[in-house]
């Protein structure tokens, strides 16, 4: 560590305009306060002890995870969380800079805490509109650029109010409710409740609802609702908190006008846990009444519909979804086990079947199965069951369309994805899946139009949206645009090998052999075991010319046949 560093022990220090307190794990500025996870704070302290200097990945891992073998994505995940905490832009950084092929550098000023008269460093800022982030109930992961979406950030310009709306009428962003149960293990419950509210509201034709992935950028930050209105282009914001203790639950919610910042209403709802679905309906009804939205008879039926009558099944479903978001083989297996418990308790729980289908699809494509073909067959089976149980849910068609695309049933996959959008015209992930299918079916120009629409509907779209658009640009031979999208995706998730794979091919076609080779080397370092034969087998490109285009690029980048990249 630097001998002249102002950082010693757990003493609070300053990074730019931010006060950092390692003891409490908090960083705060005049406008926001965020609590960091211990490892995230440890990485920040490590960087702050060498301000302005490049700290390599190896140095950070040896210091923060001393003596522990960690996954390749552990450090990348902490850097992403730090950037989100500081509202830092990876492409135009003010706090943390990525130094390609080397490591990271803290470029903001570091020094002792500057105290204002009468203000102690651990004082909390005045109460402002607090926002929280949920993980959507059926989100997506990207598998070899094929589409199971992840979430974080946006590269699109900040929209004016109204941009990205599906139609006229009021627009709203539902900010994930805060878990105030004094038990971090209950986060899955408040996240899931929030996602359900978003899903319910998005079914109302007279209301434009920002996609759930777009609110992830506001996780654990304090942002004024007026700023959110400007950034997301919405007229109203719903925020609140959930306390779940034993068999009791309390929901506190408030609806605010983003133009004035005024609260339109605020209310507290208490009930037994078994009546939690009725609470969700009551909150939805309050919003509809306050915004004077006229519901169709069909919309009334949809809002009255519940996914399951079993609160225990719902709980297993939410826990499974949380495990699924670990994006690991172990987490995926845990998710399947929990979904199975939910199904055992309620054989008519369509969403549990749909999520089980996605988990099996993820297992198949990532090679986490001794029989990938059988895993994909199981994925299709569960997706079909989900549709048979409840044909009114867009998410079940999303799951089925995904499995059909992996099976190279392009015509069926397109029809299924279109059904998901017909059920919910605001369904950004539905447009993203439709664009992906079209691209793999050999229609990239049409795919590009739909991918742009998905990005408008989800202005804070997940990084996978950029990967999908990058693949579309690649198939259109627009290599510079493809590179831009792939690099943006990697800035937000440096350990995702899918964009690296396509980026290597794009660099190769641009004649940038060194850059292409370096990307292949990074994939090798990640432990991914891929050959040209494997790519040809799993990538669902229908057009042989497009498939050859990708394979040729990867061959030029250094990937070979019948030989793993490892």
Domain boundary assignment for the chain: 13-112, 130-146+158-304, 462-566
Question: Exposure string (b/e) for 486-524, b if CB count within 10 Å is 16 or more?
Answer: bbbbbbbbbbbbbbbbbbbbbbbbeebeebbbbbbbbbb
Residue 109 has pLDDT above 50, yes or no: yes
**Sign, Cα dihedral of 149, 153, 155, 158:** positive
User: Which helix or strand (DSSP H or E) is residue 249 part of?
Assistant: strand 248-257
pTM over 0.75: no
Mean pLDDT of 495-520: 88
User: In angstroms, rounded to a whole number, what is the distance separating the alpha carbons of residues 483 and 481?
Assistant: 5
- Across 419-441, average pLDDT: 92
- Topology of 13-112 in CATH? Arc Repressor Mutant, subunit A (1.10.10)
Q: Torsion angle of alpha carbons 462, 311, 381, 540, nearest 10°?
A: 0
Are 280 and 203 a contacting pair, CB within 8 Å?
no
Confidence of residue 528 (pLDDT cuts 50, 70, 90): low
Q: What is the mean pLDDT of residues 544-558?
A: 93
Nearest to residue 162, comparing CAs of 201, 197, 208? 208
**Distance of alpha carbon 76 from alpha carbon 491, whole angstroms:** 9
Count of Cβ atoms closer than 10 Å to residue 301 Cβ: 12
DSSP classification of residue 212 = G
pLDDT, one tens digit per residue, over 301-325 is 665 566 787 878 888 888 888 788 6
Closest Cα to residue 450, out of 462, 433, 467, 464? 433
Q: Best-predicted range by mean pLDDT among 13-17, 179-183, 213-217, 376-380?
A: 376-380
pLDDT at residue 551 in the model:
94
- HSE, CB side, 13 Å, CA atoms: give it for residue 413: 27
Q: Which CATH number fits domain 130-146+158-304: 3.30.300.30, 3.90.1300.10, 3.40.50.10610, 3.40.30.10?
A: 3.40.50.10610
Average pLDDT over residues 18-26: 86
Token pair of 146 as six digits: 């094929």
CA torsion angle 531 535 536 540 (round to 10): 170
Residue ranges of alpha helices (H) inside 138-270 are 187-202, 225-232
CATH of domain 462-566: 1.25.40.10
41-86 residue pLDDT tens: 889 999 999 998 999 888 888 888 776 665 545 677 678 788 888 9
| Long-range pairs of 35-41 with CB within 8 A, sequence gap ≥ 24 | 35/220, 36/81, 36/82, 36/85, 37/78, 37/81, 39/64, 39/65, 39/74, 39/78, 40/78, 40/81, 40/82, 40/85
Q: How many angstroms separate the CA atoms of 155 and 141, rounded? A: 19
């Amino acid at each position: 560590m630097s001998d002249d560093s102002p950082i010693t022990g757990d003493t609070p220090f300053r990074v730019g305009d931010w006060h950092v307190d390692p003891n409490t794990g908090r960083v705060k500025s005049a406008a926001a306060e965020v609590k960091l996870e211990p490892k995230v704070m440890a990485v920040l302290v490590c960087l702050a002890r060498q301000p302005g200097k490049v700290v390599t990945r190896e140095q950070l891992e040896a210091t923060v995870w001393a003596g522990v073998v960690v996954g390749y994505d552990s450090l990348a995940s902490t850097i992403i969380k730090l950037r989100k905490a500081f509202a830092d832009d990876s492409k135009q950084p003010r706090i943390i800079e990525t130094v390609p092929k080397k490591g990271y550098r803290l470029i903001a000023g570091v020094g002792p805490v500057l105290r204002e008269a009468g203000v102690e460093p651990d004082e909390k800022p005045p109460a402002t509109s607090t926002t929280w982030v949920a993980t959507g109930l059926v989100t997506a992961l990207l598998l070899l650029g094929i589409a199971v979406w992840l979430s974080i950030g946006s590269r699109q310009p900040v929209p004016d109010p109204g941009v990205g709306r599906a139609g006229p009428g009021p627009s709203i962003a539902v900010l994930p409710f805060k878990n105030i149960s004094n038990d971090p293990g209950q986060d899955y419950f408040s996240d899931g409740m929030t996602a359900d509210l978003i899903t319910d509201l998005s079914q109302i034709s007279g209301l434009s609802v920002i996609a759930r992935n777009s609110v992830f950028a506001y996780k654990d930050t304090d942002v004024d609702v007026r700023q959110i209105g400007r950034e997301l282009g919405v007229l109203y914001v719903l925020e609140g908190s959930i306390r779940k203790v034993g068999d009791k639950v309390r929901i506190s919610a408030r609806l605010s006008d983003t133009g004035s910042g005024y609260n339109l209403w605020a209310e507290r709802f208490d009930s037994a846990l078994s009546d939690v679905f009725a609470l969700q309906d009551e909150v939805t009804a309050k919003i509809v009444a306050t915004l004077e939205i006229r519901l169709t008879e069909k919309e009334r039926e949809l809002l009255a519909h519940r996914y399951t009558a079993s609160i225990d099944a719902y709980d297993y479903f939410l826990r499974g979804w949380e495990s699924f978001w670990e994006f690991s083989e172990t987490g995926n297996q845990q998710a399947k086990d929990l979904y199975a418990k939910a199904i055992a308790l309620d054989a008519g729980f369509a969403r549990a079947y749909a999520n089980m289908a996605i988990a099996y699809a993820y297992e198949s494509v990532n090679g986490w199965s001794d029989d990938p073909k059988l895993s994909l067959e199981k994925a299709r089976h569960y997706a079909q069951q989900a549709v048979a149980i409840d044909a009114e849910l867009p998410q079940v068609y999303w799951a089925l369309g995904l499995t059909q695309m992996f099976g190279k049933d392009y015509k069926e996959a397109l029809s299924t994805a279109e059904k998901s959008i017909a059920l919910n015209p605001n369904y950004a992930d539905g447009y993203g899946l439709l664009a992906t299918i079209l691209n793999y079916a050999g229609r990239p120009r049409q795919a590009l139009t739909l991918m742009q629409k998905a990005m408008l509907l989800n202005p804070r779209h997940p990084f996978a949206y950029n990967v999908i658009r990058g693949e579309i640009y690649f198939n259109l031979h627009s290599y510079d645009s493809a590179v831009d999208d792939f690099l943006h995706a990697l800035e937000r998730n440096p350990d995702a090998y899918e964009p690296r794979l396509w980026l290597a091919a794009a660099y190769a076609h641009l004649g940038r052999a060194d850059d292409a080779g370096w990307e292949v080397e990074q994939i090798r370092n990640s432990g991914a075991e891929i050959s040209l034969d494997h790519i040809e087998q799993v990538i669902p490109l229908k057009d042989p010319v497009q498939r050859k285009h990708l394979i040729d690029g990867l061959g030029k980048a250094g990937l070979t046949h019948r030989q793993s990249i490892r």
